[in-house]
Amino acid sequence: MLRHLLRPNDAKIVMLVLDGLGGIRSAEFPRTALEQARTPNMDSVAAAGLCGRSLPISHGITPGSGPAHLALFGYDPLAPEHDIGRGVIEVTGAGFRLKDNDIAIRGNFATVDGKGVLTDRRAGRLPHEESVRVCALLQENIGDIDGVEVIVMPVMEYRFGVVLRGKGLSPAVEETDPQLTGKKPLQPVALDKASERTRDIIIEFIKRAEKALANEPKANALLLRGISRMPALEPFGERYGLEAAAIASYPLYRGIAGLCGMKVIETGSSVEEEFETLRSAYSGHDFFFIHIKKTDSYGEDGNLGGKARIIEEVDARLSMILDLEPDVLIITGDHSTPCAMKSHSWHPVPFVINSTVCGRDDTEEFSESGCDRGALGVFPATKIMELALANAGKLKKHGA
Amino acid sequence: MLRHLLRPNDAKIVMLVLDGLGGIRSAEFPRTALEQARTPNMDSVAAAGLCGRSLPISHGITPGSGPAHLALFGYDPLAPEHDIGRGVIEVTGAGFRLKDNDIAIRGNFATVDGKGVLTDRRAGRLPHEESVRVCALLQENIGDIDGVEVIVMPVMEYRFGVVLRGKGLSPAVEETDPQLTGKKPLQPVALDKASERTRDIIIEFIKRAEKALANEPKANALLLRGISRMPALEPFGERYGLEAAAIASYPLYRGIAGLCGMKVIETGSSVEEEFETLRSAYSGHDFFFIHIKKTDSYGEDGNLGGKARIIEEVDARLSMILDLEPDVLIITGDHSTPCAMKSHSWHPVPFVINSTVCGRDDTEEFSESGCDRGALGVFPATKIMELALANAGKLKKHGA
């Protein structure tokens, strides 16, 4: 229903996503990180804008990073055709351009003892440089398998990606990670007839890889997960009539943005570097997704001070975005990661949108409690893109 | 989609339902019963919990008790397969175990004059003991009809249930209650070809019953309503991975809970007896539905003082629940029954959920206006179960 309403113009939209932004108050943490952080700039955006709480999937449903970002980008995260496998996210995030029928796999380098029993599922958190070397070793030694091209790539530290490219492949093969040390890696199991050939190729791949890695001190085994194929996502640019750019330092988020068809721009890992990248890319695009990872990481660690500090750092540098005078600015998270829970959670996420036509509510503080009083109330995250387009003047009236 | 997210644990959930809890302010009643009642304990639960307004069906749609409870239990009350006939609710509530093809009918004993014209649709509110005797009289005199077994059971006062058990029955037969005195009971009408045999059996049943009741001073006629068959409800226990118990004194609510597959526990009719039943049953289950009827009854009577008194009684005894330290406590209603309207209404219902991970909003009072400011906002009652499970730690993350 949306596409016929599109009315392209030059207005620019910036969506700033602080991963896992939302928190909850608890006995241990009487204030959330966002409540504790001094955020004068975000508070000004909230005071001049419209606030609310965005609901990534549904009340009570805790989203993973993939579904949470799909929701932010306006794709129904529960639709089966939007189910993105972890392997696809991983290799796309590493910058690899998947073809439609490629099989993508997420791998961990691991350590096994003399009997093939896992002693470390992450090969002692193998450093990235080591991973680059070991991936090259694999690439050199494995070659094609039964006419299928095998591409191995480093991703981050002990994590790598594998792509199988060839005819007659199908991704319904189970993971080989037993999730526990003290066990052997699992044998790949095909879940349907069509995936048996893929299973056989994966078995042969593991065999050749273990031979090539036999003398590695740490990375002498591998665990394969998230065996998957490209989902059929309507390209973001066509869907919304936007030239979209993604600025994210972590592979997973670069991956999801890339799968949606956004242009993924190289950037650094600090807030300042990401915001600087926005500045450089600003003239060439009209939609910007900027992703800050560390709020989520500190939330997972239960480190309220750390999470608050990152929020303060973003706030302190916010002028780098405000000075660009985007027509629409959105600040929100993909989901909540309360320090009180040390995990993702279902709680709706603080949200603010600011434009000359957003309207104003009485919220004067960008915080959970402030957003609870916002005029948008609790609303589905999948509606954020429509709100963004409307505020940018990019949507016509529906009906006469 | 929910079922694959279930992660069973030992956490216990208590859902306390005050029937018809919600009210509205009006010229006559400047405060609702919940606003007028002194409820220090519920206020504490609200202050430490998350509040909102649960919407049983949809804005503007007033639910009956059946749909309202289905929504609370997480079943879409508008799905045709969840349409529960009143006859089914009535006989199930009376403790009868229906088989899939049984036809269940809700009956009223009534009084007619010499010409067969209704003078009292409730047979002078026939006392329960009388009803038991009259039902036995019917059971004795009617016997099988055309190979169909007929079971008559007392329910409560003038209300009784009839079950037709046999082959080739179908429930599309209209009610015989003209809803007004001064008229004769209606003849049953079959709404489709398949139900014509059932209609004929009902006609014969009425004929034999009227003969058997001819000498009764009050209960000399009957009105049949809610002719229906078992709905196909996914069992609550499997749906949510819970061992559920229902504590309710009124047959209808016991019936609905039983149809969902909850274990219906014997209890008394006072708040204290119901809460005592919870205490006794607490170790054997992990989900408890406790139903308080009288808030609705007083609402229907427009008796604000009475409704407030029942709310205060529940509040005064709430420590019986709080002392059990349930992991998740929900207090809400199934629908609103404003004294200002003397009927069920569509207004969203005050709701609070309390757990260590519920989050907190600024609501400090459990009331309509307090819940209007709650962080949950107005949300679908069908989401309550997912919220409950999430707060109990019984749901995994969706997606990676």
Question: Cβ of B378 and A373 within 8 Å?
Answer: no
Cβ proximity of A345 and A59 under 8 Å: no
Q: Which whole number is the average pLDDT over A139-163? A: 95
Q: Nearest CB to B390: which of A62, A89, A340?
A: A62
Across B83-112, average pLDDT: 92
CB atoms within 10 A of CB A280: 11
pLDDT of residue B296: 97
Alpha carbon of B379: minimum distance to chain A alpha carbons (Å): 8
Pair A346, A261 in one domain: yes
For residue A2, what pLDDT band results from cuts at 50, 70 and 90?
confident
Residue A2: inside a domain, yes or no?
no
Given pLDDT bands bounded at 50, 70 and 90, which one contains residue A162? very high
Average pLDDT over residues B83-110: 91
Q: Using CB atoms, pick whichever of B359, B377, B399 lies closest to residue A63.
A: B399
Residue A1 has pLDDT above 80, yes or no: no
Question: B383 vs A27: CB contact, 8 Å cut-off?
Answer: no
What does R_g of chain A's alpha carbons equal in angstroms?
Answer: 22
What separation in angstroms does the CA of B4 have from each of A379, B238, B285, B286? 25, 11, 22, 19
Single-letter amino acid code for the residue at B234 = E
**DSSP-assigned letters across all residues of A171-227:** --B-----SSTTSPPPPP-BSSGGGHHHHHHHHHHHHHHHHHTTT-SS--EEEEEEE
Does A66 contact chain B (CB < 8 Å)? yes
In chain A, which residue ranges form alpha helices assigned H by DSSP?
A: 33-36, 40-48, 65-72, 86-93, 128-142, 196-212, 236-240, 251-259, 271-281, 294-301, 304-317, 319-322, 368-372, 384-391
Report pLDDT for B97: 87
Has residue B383 been placed in a domain? yes
Tell me the per-residue pLDDT of A240-273, one tens digit each, with 9 for 90 and over: 999 999 999 998 899 899 999 999 999 999 999 9
Closest residue of chain A to B372, computed from CA coordinates: A373
Please identify, among B228, B249, B279, the residue that sits at the C-terminal boundary of a domain: B228
| A338 and A281 together in one domain | yes
Residue B231 main-chain phi, psi, to 5 deg = -80, 165
Q: Which residue of B has its CA nearest to A25?
A: B359
B109 min Cα distance to partner chain A (Å): 45
Is B306 at the interface with chain A, CB within 8 A? no
Q: Mind telling me how many Å the CA of A32 is from chain B's nearest CA?
A: 10
CA distances from A383 to A388, B86, B318, B393 (A): 9, 39, 40, 28
* Domain-located, residue B61: yes
pLDDT value of position A219: 96
- B239: closest CA of chain A, how far (Å): 15
Q: Do A64 and B395 touch (CB under 8 A)?
A: no
A64: CB partners within 8 A, 6+ apart: A344, B397, B398, B399, B400
Q: Do B400 and A86 touch (CB under 8 A)?
A: yes
- Of residues A73 and B83, which shows the higher confidence score? A73
B362 has a chain A CB within 8 A of its CB: yes
| Chain B CB contacts of A25 below 8 Å | 359-360
Tell me if A199 is assigned to some domain. yes
Same domain, yes or no: B78 and B99? no
Q: Report the C-alpha gap between B370 and B364 in whole angstroms.
A: 7
Do A36 and A13 sit in the same domain of this protein?
yes
Residues of B in contact with A377 (CB under 8 A): 377-378
| pLDDT of amino acid B1 | 53
Encoding tokens for residue A166?
């060839």
Q: Do both B189 and B264 map to the same domain?
A: no
**Burial profile B109-146: b = 16 or more Cβ within 10 angstroms, e = fewer:** bbbbeeeeebebbbbeebeeebbeebbebbeeebeebe
Is B378 near chain A, with CB under 8 Å? yes
Residue of A69, A89, A230 whose CA lies nearest to A156:
A89
Number of domains in chain A: 2
> Is A399 inside a domain boundary?
no
User: Does residue A333 share a domain with residue A278?
Assistant: yes
Higher pLDDT, A206 or B156: A206
Q: Based on the domain organization, do A194 and A58 belong to the same domain?
A: no
CA A313/CA A309 separation, integer angstroms: 6
Q: What is the DSSP letter of B249?
A: S
Cβ contact (<8 Å) for A60 and B395?
yes
Domain membership of residue B250 as a residue range = 3-82+234-391
Same domain, B173 and B112: yes
| Closest residue in A to B358 (Cα–Cα) | A24
Determine, for residues A59 and B383 on separate chains, whether the beta-carbon distance falls below 8 Å. Answer: yes
Task: Write out pLDDT tens, residues A84-118.
Answer: 888 998 898 888 989 989 999 999 999 999 999 99
Contacts of B357 in chain A (CB under 8 A): 24, 26, 338, 340-341, 345
Q: Are A19 and A153 contained in the same domain?
A: no
Q: Name the 3-class secondary structure at B72.
A: helix
Q: Is the pLDDT of residue B144 over 70?
A: yes
Is the pLDDT reported for residue A297 higher than 80? yes
* Residue B399 within any structural domain of the chain: no
Q: Residue A149, Cβ neighbours under 10 Å: how many? A: 12
CA dist A334 and A72 (Å) reads 7
Q: How far apart are the C-alpha atoms of B92 and B151, rounded to whole Å? A: 13
CB-closest option in B360, B362, B400 to A64: B400
Among B188, B205, B228, the domain boundary falls at B228
d(CA B89, CA B66): 8
What is the domain-level CATH number for residue B15?
3.40.720.10
Provide mean pLDDT across the span B26-39: 97
Task: Assess whether pLDDT exceeds 80 at residue B193.
Answer: yes
Q: Is the confidence at residue B95, as pLDDT, over 90? A: no
Mean pLDDT over all residues of chain B?
95
Confirm whether the ipTM is greater than 0.90: no
- Chain A partners of B76 at a C-beta cutoff of 8 Å? none
Query: Based on the domain organization, do A310 and A350 belong to the same domain?
Result: yes
Residue B220: band (very low, low, confident or very high) from pLDDT cuts 50, 70, 90: very high
CB contact under 8 A, A66 and B400: yes
Q: How far is B312 from chain A (nearest CA, A)?
A: 28
User: Are residues B220 and B259 part of one domain?
Assistant: no
A60 touches chain B (CB under 8 A): yes
Do B143 and B203 lie in a common domain? Answer: yes
B399/A77 CB distance under 8 A: yes
pLDDT for position A400? 78
Residue where a domain stops, chosen among B199, B228, B257: B228
Looking at the domain assignment, is residue B398 inside a domain? Answer: no
207-246 in B: which are within 8 Å (CB) of A?
none
A400 belongs to a structural domain: no
Q: CA A172 to CA A168: how far, in whole Å?
A: 12
pLDDT at B182: 96
**Closest partner CB to B359 (pick from A24, A57, A64):** A24
